[in-house]
Chains A and B, each alone.
Chain A
Amino acid sequence: MKRYSVFAVAREALRYHQGWGRAWRSPEPKKKYEAIIIGAGGHGLATAYYLGKNHGLKNVAILEKGWLGGGNTGRNTTIIRSNYLQDASAAIYEKARSLYETMSQDLNYNVMFSPRGVMMLAQTQHEIRGYKRTAHANALQGVSTEFITPDRVKSLVPIINIDGPRYPVLGALWQPRGGTARHDAVAWGYARACSEMGMDVIQQCEVTGIRRQNGQVQGVETSKGSIDCEKLGIVVAGHTGVLADMAGFRMPIESVALQALVSEPIKPCMDVVVMANTVHGYMSQSDKGEMVIGGGADGFNNYTQRGSFHHVEETVRALIETFPIISRLKMLRWWGGIVDMTGDRSPILSTTPVKNIFINCGWGTGGFKAIPGSGWAMAELMAKGHSSLTEEFGLNRFKEGKFIDESVAAGVAH
């Protein structure tokens, strides 16, 4: 693999870009690996990357039924923030956010991390109180956020209408180092780094069965044959229930469609991410000029990667009062992903009833922001059997009633 640098660009420019080479190998699966990760979304790839980088475990395969990042990772609206309420969440999301700061250098791959600031609008009295509480919690957790006034909101986002009439902007929770990144690049950057370490990233390889003996994992059946492994990580988001079924246990997860859309490209008009949780919509502007818009999840189980049309109308209608400027924009693209929802809206990073099977799921509508932190923690869990970052995210929390309730803090799906 060649290192990407300004010199590489100059060199290639002089020879018509003929010498770039492939970013990762596409090998056939071996008979056996020390660890197999199912799912080459961001979380699966990051898990493999940190298994190699932090724990020296490099005899690893990442199996993907489709293509790299073709699940939710390549379908999300890329909001990165760590202003959660509960300590366990703040720890893993802030770990992730801070890893995003240096990810491009670390992976030698430009993931276009853009810490442009994330603003969560308070449009009711209740929201003001809620966000002030979060800002105080964040201060204690060492996460830099502040509650700002409507004037500050207006100066940061000139296109916003703060006067209502129905939902005036009363303030906002502001995380200046939140932002966005390029979603595909995160998957590609990790895949390239994993391949470089000697790991096998295998696309179009669907896991169809999980072999077990004496309560312990033996290997997997796939569309490319049978593969043995010592440890197995299931990191498949919306397909968690399907894989858990193969492994013989049940999960507190429901798969539903979450949708997003972009407008036609327009000139730069908004350089922060704005979320309006009361009216249930959020928006940012991509580097191409499109307004990237998302809203709530659909209410029923779904595996079709497309959602109900009326959600588009609801989301856009919700945002138009606050952003009158978007009322005449045309919609350019519209898509959906299948997100894995838990009851307390927090993820699961856990051992399972089957020995040496580990599971990472439940990121639901907001896991892009967590990719590096989740991979870091999951790798530690798989390598050592425990991790301080995952301790409270175990499967047993549902039986114990020890929820990590973020449904209030998360507000809108993102």
Chain B
Amino acid sequence: MLIFTCPYCGIEADETELTPGGEAHLKRFGPGSSDEEFEGYLFNRENPKGVHFERWRHVYGCGKWFHAARCTLTLEVFGTYSAQTFEPPEEIKERIRAKRPGWKWRNFS
């Protein structure tokens, strides 16, 4: 079972207390964007085997959305962080570098 520490209320929450919200840091494209951009935003996903960044919601707790960094191959959790950011904090990226040298996810590494 996945266990995340909610960055807002600080509680260690089991997966059953949370709702997965899919890939993180999506750039939203709307009217005025190209067909490719709109399709990419709506459907195309990183879906990586390894390091991944996601949105989760502490639905049966404080109710807040947050971000999580996780490995989809081992289910190891690298850390959680605020929803109000466009990229993972340096500290989490550093932790992943130590554990997964050479990792890459979109333009983060």
Contacts and interface: CB of A to CB of B under 8 A. Distances in A.
B40 interface: yes
Interface in A248-278: 250-255
Interface string B11-37: 000011001101100000000000110
Main secondary structure of the interface of A (DSSP, over half): mixed
Contacts of A343: 42-43
Given A308-B2, A310-B1, A299 B19 contact: yes
Q: How large is the interface on A (under 10, 10 to 19, 20 to 34, 35 or more residues)?
A: 20 to 34
Contacts of B43: 252, 343, 398
A303 B49 contact: yes
A252 B41 CA distance: 10
A301 B72 CA distance: 6
B54 A300 contact: yes
Given A303-B49, A303-B73, A252 B44 contact: yes
Nearest to B68: A300
Given A255-B49, A303-B72, 6 more contacts: A252-B39, A252-B43, A254-B47, A304-B74, A309-B1, A398-B39
A398 B54 CA distance: 23
Nearest to B45: A254
Contacts of B1: 308-310
Q: Specify which of B19, B43, B47, B49 lies most central, judged by the most chain A CB atoms within 10 Å of its CB.
A: B47
Interface of A: 239-242, 250-255, 299-304, 308-310, 343, 398-399
A247 to B, nearest CB: 14
A123 B38 CA distance: 38
B58 interface: no
B46 A241 contact: yes
Contacts of A300: 2, 20, 54
Interface string B91-103: 0000000000000
A403 B66 CA distance: 31
A300 B75 CA distance: 11
Q: Specify which of B46, B72, B75 lies most central, judged by the most chain A CB atoms within 10 Å of its CB.
A: B72
